[in-house]
Amino acid sequence: MLRLNLLKDGISAAAIVKVNEKAISTLLQKCSFTSTTYNGPSYEKILELRKQFVTPSAIPFYRKPLLIHKGEMQFLYDHKGVKYLDMFAGIVTVSVGHCHPKVNAALEEQIKTLWHTTCIYMHPKVFEYSEKLASKLPGDLKVVYLTNSGSEANDLAILMSRLFTKNYDILTFKNAYHGGSTSTMGLTAQSTWHYPVPGLKNGIHHVMNPDPYTGIWGGSNCRDSPVQTNRKCDCTQGKCLAEDNYINQLESEFKYSLPRGKLAALFAESIQGVGGSVQFPRNYLKRAAEIVRAGGGLIVSDEVQTGFGRTGENYWGFENHGIVPDIVTMAKGIGNGFPLGAVVTTQKIAQVMTEAVHFNTFGGNPMACAVGKAVLDVIDEEKLQQNALDVGTYLLKGFEILREKYDIIGDVRGKVRFKVFLL
């Protein structure tokens, strides 16, 4: 998972690493699909329909938005047949490629067999998939609750943590993003995602964001990354002063803001996604987890953007911090674009949901489970976690060279393990 952060007078731009042209040509040709002719409404008609019938809050990228017609693995085609290399993956969602043949085949087979039945009846796919997904998680994280999105998953995690601990207050970080539902909007701590309505933040506290680049403390020795910020700091080898200072700020939240220090949960992204791929000081989350658990709270790891091998070294982002959460939420890449999310927790915590009736009409439907299982297979079979490690490191080191050359580049962020590549 990586981000090239470009900061200068509000300018946003894209930087390109100059690589071997033959390699790029091979990459662009490595696809057996062919684009089909677009027969839909004209570009102008689409703009008219969008303005008239689609919510105005759905703002497309670019002054002249792309009209995407077809996808095939790493490529997208617009209505004119122009081919694009997709480096955004549908808001970091298409984890194994557009229309991957194995995923397509799994969905097609399931569509011909059974579209839908709720979890009050049994169908084999939900059990097969839940077992396979749980096998990817450590310890007692073996109970799966399937949803349709990350917002739903985080919403359910709020409920679970409050029911289990009998506490109400929840901590999350400033600059975090955890969803767009009414409750998860309260967890989210970015003003661009907030509406002026009461009740969004009931019992939710946004603590100081431990950002080594833009925060009060931090610098060139703080992050677990092959590329460090070029901001100066007083940290020494094996001793991060920024980590200590941010931990002190977290402890002050227990002292001054929480009722007698009681807490339901800390929600944390392993790397902040929508907030700009922000990485915390190396041992911060591990120490934070100890403080939270001492206060009776649970650790909820939001793996919507960092899970499924995307950080390269580990399958889950929380593993990079040396912790095992109590609840893990996931979505986006879990279904490669198909509506699918999940909450995974322990048997003990999951038991609290039996205090009332609670189920999700579409969560765990046969089609979603077939897709999810195929996605897990493809990640393993095509060694995509290793690919994230190799390609991610290559890009990070290339972007680091560009940062030293261009003042417009403020920071290069990403979590992959050290490896040397020659550009």
Q: Kindly state whether residue 97 falls inside one of the protein's structural domains.
A: no
As a residue count, the chain comes to 423
Do 263 and 315 lie in a common domain? yes
Question: In whole angstroms, what is the distance from residue 92 CA to residue 75 CA?
Answer: 14
For the domain that residue 22 is a member of, what is the CATH number? 3.90.1150.10
> How many whole angstroms separate alpha carbon 27 and alpha carbon 87?
13
Of residues 260 and 341, the one with the higher pLDDT is 341
pLDDT band at 32 (very low <50, low <70, confident <90, very high): low
pLDDT range class, residue 58, cuts 50, 70, 90: confident
Task: Indicate if 283 and 401 belong to the same structural domain.
Answer: no
pLDDT tier at 345, thresholds 50, 70, 90: very high
- The answer to whether residue 410 is domain-embedded is yes
Q: What is the mean pLDDT of residues 359-380?
A: 94
* Structure tokens, 259: 């009722």
High-pLDDT (> 70) share of the chain, % = 89
Mean pLDDT of all residues belonging to the chain: 87
Residues 399 and 376 in one domain: no
In-domain check, residue 352: yes
Which one-letter DSSP state was computed for residue 52?
H
Alpha helices in 308-414 (DSSP H): 347-350, 366-381, 384-405
Confidence of residue 33 (pLDDT cuts 50, 70, 90): low
Token pair recorded at residue 393: 């490191």
What residue ranges in 189-287 does DSSP mark as E strands? 204-207, 265-269
Asked if residue 143 lies in contact with residue 350, where contact means CB atoms within 8 angstroms, the answer is yes
Question: What would the pLDDT profile of 110-158 be if each residue is shown by its tens digit?
Answer: 999 999 987 788 899 999 999 999 999 999 999 999 999 999 999 999 9
Q: Is residue 130 domain-shared with residue 260, that is, in the same domain?
A: yes
- According to DSSP, the residues that pair with 206 across neighbouring strands are 172
Task: Please tell me whether residues 243 and 277 are part of one structural domain.
Answer: yes
**pTM of the complete model:** 0.88
Q: Establish if 419 belongs to a structural domain.
A: no
Distance CA 367, CA 365 (A): 6
Query: What are the angstrom distances between the C-alpha of 77 and each of 119, 333, 335, 352?
Result: 38, 21, 21, 47
- Is residue 300 domain-shared with residue 394, that is, in the same domain? no
- Mean pLDDT for the stretch of residues 4-10: 37
Please give the structure tokens belonging to residue 237: 């080898």
Residues 285 and 165 in one domain: yes
Between 239 and 7, the higher pLDDT residue: 239
**How distant, in Å, are the alpha carbons of 31, 89, 99, 210 from that of 74?**
9, 8, 9, 34
Beta bridge partners of 266: 171, 299
The contacts of residue 71 (CB under 8 Å, 6+ apart) are 77, 86, 94, 98, 99
Residue of 148 and 5 predicted with greater confidence: 148
Domain assignment present for 96: no
Look at residue 423 in the predicted model and tell me its pLDDT. 31
Give yes or no for residue 368 having a pLDDT over 70.
yes
Q: Are residues 199 and 51 in the same domain?
A: no
State residue 31's pLDDT score.
56
156-171 confidence digits (pLDDT tens): 999 999 999 999 999 9
**69 and 118 both lie in a single domain:** no
* Identity of the residue numbered 318: F
CB within 8 Å of 204: residues ≥ 6 apart? 169, 170, 171, 172, 186, 187
User: Quick one: 346 and 397 in the same domain?
Assistant: no
CB 297 within 8 A of CB 263: yes
What local confidence, expressed as pLDDT, does residue 416 receive? Answer: 67
- The amino acid at 366: P
Domain count, the chain: 2
Does the residue 422 lie in any domain? no
315 or 86, greater pLDDT:
315
- Of 199, 141, 150, 168, the closest CA to residue 265 belongs to 168
Sign for the CA dihedral angle at 249, 254, 255, 258 comes to positive
Please say if the pLDDT value at position 18 is more than 50.
no
Evaluate whether residue 397 is within a structural domain: yes
Using the 8-state DSSP alphabet, how is residue 92 labeled?
Answer: H
- 30: pLDDT strictly greater than 80: no
What's 302's domain CATH number? 3.40.640.10
Query: Per the domain annotation, does 421 fall within a domain?
Result: no
Q: Which residue blocks in 195-337 are alpha helix, DSSP H?
A: 241-256, 284-294
CB 95 within 8 A of CB 384: yes
> Among 4-18, 51-65, 263-277, 288-302, which stretch is predicted with the lowest mean pLDDT?
4-18
Same structural domain, 145 and 202? yes
- Cα separations (Å) of 20 from 37, 85, 310? 32, 16, 24
Q: What Å distances lie between residue 260 and 295, 296, 299, 304, 375, CA to CA?
A: 9, 11, 19, 32, 45
Average pLDDT rounded to a whole number, residues 363-389:
94
* 422 pLDDT higher than 50: no
Whole-angstrom Cα distance, residue 32 to residue 190? 42
Chain centroid to CA 118: how far?
Answer: 27
Q: Which helix (H) or strand (E) holds 173?
A: strand 170-173
278 vs 222: CA distance, rounded Å: 12
Where does the pLDDT of residue 10 fall: very low under 50, low under 70, confident under 90, or very high at 90 and above? very low
Q: What does the pLDDT average to over 84-92?
A: 86
> Are both 344 and 401 inside the same structural domain?
no
Domain that holds residue 48: 2-87+383-414
Taken in order 252, 255, 257, 263, the sign of the CA dihedral is positive
